[in-house]
């Protein structure tokens, strides 16, 4: 269980995240929605500790995340994998090496620096790639792939971290509708099949409604809605998005899960 | 602008009349060091001119090795320091400050000063030359490397940090793939510069062909001076050309994918 308690992050005078308190039970797929600049990305970066909060605390079970340093902090980051809008792969390295980056916390530093991966780690990485139909491209340079393919590699990297939690920061914002669906289906599968908690920032309201168990709406750094997708009425949505409401509710970027209901059909990692 | 130029010339004691009277002497020095080559005994004259070719080549090899080892050691030190000196990778202002000042120190003290100090400490031979070049190279390359590092795409770096990589791993996989070809290219350029530098370092006894050149100049062995100069120039040309070739190869590899 992830617990945020009065978390604040200021940049100068501006409060990007302004007193957010939130409980996320294990295994949920939470969609964080809101317009650009509402503080969604900052919130996820605080949880991963890519940036440090100005005030407030974050706990995961009994561990105070906001107090971690050094090795313990790196261990936490490995436990909460992050997926980015711009994929953040090392473009000049091949796909397999990029996925191996997710194993770094399970490998000694020296063997990692020399790229001496064990057979077992390689097998884990390849099987993760295979789950997203990317195994055939393992030897290609990451920057030769399309956006959708890169995001699938990034998801494979997140998965081999064996995380308890996956934070996805606008994972579909740079993708076309078909890849949007592939990526969202992948996140859904990870959540339902492996029971990994997923917290996902989304701009498109319809995608959020279709995939998430729970929606958290943010505006000006505060939480203004928290509940099941069906409770998010058009009135609330309009409040959340203001004038942009029409745009986010019927965009082409919307994707729906296959057959409405998810069916596990996956080999184990 | 013109006024400033004239003024600075005045202050710097740039004396045009002196330059004018000195020029013929400069030219006559070149004339003096020219060998006596006659067409009827050309081969014999040539072999007399380069009478000590084997010895000089051996000394030149010394100079090249001094430059090579110095460049390699300096590039390695610069490689380590450049990451610490980069604003995007090192958050601690103190570490950054220390690394930058260290690089500045290595770079601003002239090689020849280091060479003199090391000759005093370690005696004549290639070791002082290697050390002097390594220190200067570390400073110069470290600065250039740091500039390359500060321009990398930070997205992969963020991706590495977010998945729990430590500092070394982040640099190895997030940064080095982006900068390596640039680093190699700068190092090759520096090697070229260091071959010239190592020749001059020989003047103060730091090994190699320089010692031979300075003693020929001092003792007015005119033909030797021109012979040695020619050998050095030819070598520098050759290295220039080879490193250029390598660097272009590297860059085209880079853009080719």
On the CB side of A137, how many CA atoms lie within 13 Å of its CA? 21
- Residue A257 pLDDT greater than 70, yes or no: no
Residue A248 has pLDDT above 80, yes or no: no
pLDDT of A153-171, one tens digit each? Answer: 999 999 999 899 999 999 9
Residues of chain A with Cβ-Cβ distance to B158 below 8 Å are 50, 84, 88
Fold held by A2-249: Rossmann fold (3.40.50)
- Judge if ipTM > 0.85: no
Q: Which of A67-71, A182-186, A264-268, B2-6 has the highest mean pLDDT?
A: A182-186
Q: Mean pLDDT across the stretch B231-253? A: 84
Residues of B with CB under 8 A from a CB of A: 153, 155-156, 158-166, 168-169, 172-174, 177-178, 257
Instruction: State the CATH architecture for B55-256.
Output: Orthogonal Bundle (1.10)
**B102: CB partners within 8 A, 6+ apart:** B81, B139
Residue A216: in which H helix or E strand, if any? strand A214-219
Predicted confidence at residue A269, as pLDDT, reads: 39
Quote the CA–CA distance of A125 and A101 in Å, as a whole number: 10
Q: At what angle do helices B222-256 and B16-33 cross, to 10 degrees?
A: 100
Nearest CA in chain A to B255: A92
- Say whether A161 and B156 touch across the interface (CB within 8 A): no
Paired residues of A5 in beta bridges:
A57
Among A14-28, A98-112, B31-45, B124-138, the minimum mean pLDDT is found in B31-45
**With contacts defined as CB-CB under 8 Å, which chain B residues touch A75?**
164
Supply the pLDDT for residue B166: 87
Tell me if A105 and B174 make a contact (CB, 8 A cut-off).
Answer: no
Per-residue pLDDT at A258: 56
Residues 6+ apart with CB under 8 A from A36: A203
* pLDDT at residue B256 tops 70: no
* B contacts of A76 (beta carbons < 8 Å): 164
Average pLDDT over residues B148-164: 91
How close B255 comes to chain A (CA, Å)? Answer: 12
Q: Which residue has the higher pLDDT, B253 or B174?
A: B174
> CA-based angle A86:A157:A211, to the nearest 5?
70
Over 90: is that where the pLDDT of B138 sits? yes
Is there a contact between B223 and B35 (Cβ–Cβ < 8 Å)? yes
Among B161, B177, B257, select the one facing A90 at the smallest CB separation: B177
User: Lowest-confidence range among A10-24, B93-107, B207-221?
Assistant: B207-221
> Residue B156 and residue A90: Cβ atoms within 8 Å?
yes
The domain limits of chain B are 55-256
Give residue A256's pLDDT band: very low, low, confident or very high (50, 70, 90): low
Closest CA to A257 of A209, A217, A214: A209
Looking at residue A266, what is its pLDDT?
41
Residues of chain B found within 8 Å of residue A106, distances taken between Cβ atoms: none
Would you state the pLDDT for residue A153? Answer: 92
Give the count of Cβ contacts less than 8 A between chain A and B: 80
Q: How would residue B73 be classed by pLDDT, with cut points 50, 70 and 90?
A: very high
Write the residue in B164, B172, B174 that is nearest to A105 by C-beta: B164
Taking residues B82-95, report their average pLDDT.
89
pLDDT score for B75: 95
pLDDT-derived band at B125 (thresholds 50, 70, 90) equals: confident
A84, B164: Cβ pair inside 8 Å?
Answer: no
CA distance B87 to chain A (A): 16
Residue B62 has pLDDT above 50, yes or no: yes
User: With contact defined as beta carbons under 8 Å apart, do A147 and A138 qualify?
Assistant: no
Report the C-alpha gap between A266 and B5 in whole angstroms. 78
Best probe of the B interface among A101, A105, A141, A145, by most B CBs < 10 A, is: A101
pLDDT at residue A10 is higher than 80: yes
**Cβ within 8 Å, pair B173-A93:** yes
Mean pLDDT for chain B overall: 86
> pLDDT digits over A184-221, tens only?
999 999 999 888 999 999 988 888 888 998 999 888 88
- Band (pLDDT 50/70/90 cuts) for residue A243 is low
| Distance (Å) from the alpha carbon of B153 to chain A's nearest alpha carbon | 9
Interchain pair A154, B159: CB under 8 A: yes
A133: left (phi over 0), alpha (psi -120 to 50) or beta: left
When mean pLDDT is compared over A89-93, B27-31, B147-151, the highest value belongs to B147-151
Cα torsion angle, A172, A174, A177, A182, sign:
negative
User: Domain ranges in chain A?
Assistant: 2-249
Alpha carbon distance A96, A139 (integer Å): 6
CA distances to A32, A42, A201, A232 from A35, rounded to whole Å, are 10, 13, 10, 15
Q: How far is CA A43 from CA A1, A70, A263, in A?
A: 16, 21, 31
**A6: left (phi > 0), else alpha (psi -120 to 50), else beta?**
left
Q: Which one of A83, A92, A150 would you mutate to disrupt binding with B, by most B Cβ within 10 Å of its Cβ?
A: A92
Quick: pLDDT tens for B179-209: 988 899 899 989 989 988 888 888 887 777 8
Q: Flag whether pLDDT at B22 surpasses 50.
A: yes
State pTM to two decimals.
Answer: 0.81
CB contact under 8 A, B155 and A144: no
Q: What is the percent of chain B with per-residue pLDDT over 90, rounded to a whole number?
A: 32
∠ CA A126-A130-A134, rounded to 5°: 95
């Amino acid at each position: 269980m992830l617990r945020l308690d009065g978390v604040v992050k200021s940049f100068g005078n501006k409060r990007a995240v302004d007193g957010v308190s939130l409980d996320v039970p294990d295994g949920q797929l939470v969609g964080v929605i809101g317009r650009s600049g509402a503080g969604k990305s900052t919130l996820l970066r605080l949880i991963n500790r890519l940036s440090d909060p100005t005030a407030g605390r974050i706990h995961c079970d009994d561990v105070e995340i906001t107090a971690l340093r050094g090795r313990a902090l790196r261990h936490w980051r490995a436990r909460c994998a992050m997926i980015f809008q711009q994929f953040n792969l090392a473009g000049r390295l091949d796909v397999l090496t990029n996925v191996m980056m997710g194993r770094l916390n399970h490998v000694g530093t020296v063997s990692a620096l020399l790229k001496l991966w064990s057979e077992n780690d390689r097998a884990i990485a390849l099987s993760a790639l295979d789950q997203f139909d990317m195994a055939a491209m393992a030897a290609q340079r990451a920057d030769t792939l399309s956006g959708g393919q890169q995001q699938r590699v990034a998801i494979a990297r997140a998965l081999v971290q064996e995380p308890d939690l996956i934070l996805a920061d606008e994972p579909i914002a740079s993708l076309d509708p078909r890849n949007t669906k592939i990526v969202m289906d992948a996140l859904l599968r990870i959540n339902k099949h492996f029971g990994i908690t997923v917290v996902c920032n989304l701009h498109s309201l319809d995608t959020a409604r279709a995939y998430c168990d729970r929606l958290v709406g943010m505006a000006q750094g505060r939480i203004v809605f928290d509940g099941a997708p069906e409770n998010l009425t058009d009135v609330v949505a309009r409040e959340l998005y203001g004038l942009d409401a029409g745009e986010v509710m019927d965009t082409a970027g919307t994707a729906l899960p296959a057959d409405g209901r998810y069916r596990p059909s996956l080999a184990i990692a | 602008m013109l006024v400033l130029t004239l003024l600075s010339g005045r202050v710097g004691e740039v004396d045009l009349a002196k330059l004018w009277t000195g020029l013929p002497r400069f030219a006559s020095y070149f004339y003096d060091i020219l060998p006596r080559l006659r067409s009827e005994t050309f081969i014999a004259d040539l072999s007399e001119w380069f009478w000590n070719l084997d010895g000089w080549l051996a000394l030149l090899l010394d100079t090249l090795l001094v430059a090579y080892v110095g460049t390699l050691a300096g590039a390695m030190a610069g490689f380590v320091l450049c990451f610490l000196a980069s604003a995007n990778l090192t958050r601690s202002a103190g570490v950054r400050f220390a690394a930058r000042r260290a690089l500045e120190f290595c770079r601003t003290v002239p090689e020849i000063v280091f060479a003199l100090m090391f000759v005093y400490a370690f005696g004549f031979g290639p070791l002082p030359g290697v050390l002097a070049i390594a220190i200067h190279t570390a400073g110069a390359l470290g600065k250039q490397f740091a500039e390359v590092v500060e321009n990398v795409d930070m997205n992969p770096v963020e991706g590495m940090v977010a998945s729990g990589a430590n500092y070394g791993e982040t640099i190895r996989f997030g940064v080095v793939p982006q900068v390596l070809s640039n680093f190699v290219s700068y190092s090759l350029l520096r090697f070229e510069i260091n071959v010239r530098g190592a020749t001059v370092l020989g003047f103060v006894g730091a090994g190699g062909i320089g010692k031979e050149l300075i003693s020929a100049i001092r003792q007015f062995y005119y033909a030797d001076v021109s012979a040695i100069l020619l050998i050095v120039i030819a070598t520098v040309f050759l290295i220039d050309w080879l490193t250029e070739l390598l660097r272009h190869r590297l860059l085209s590899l880079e853009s080719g994918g």
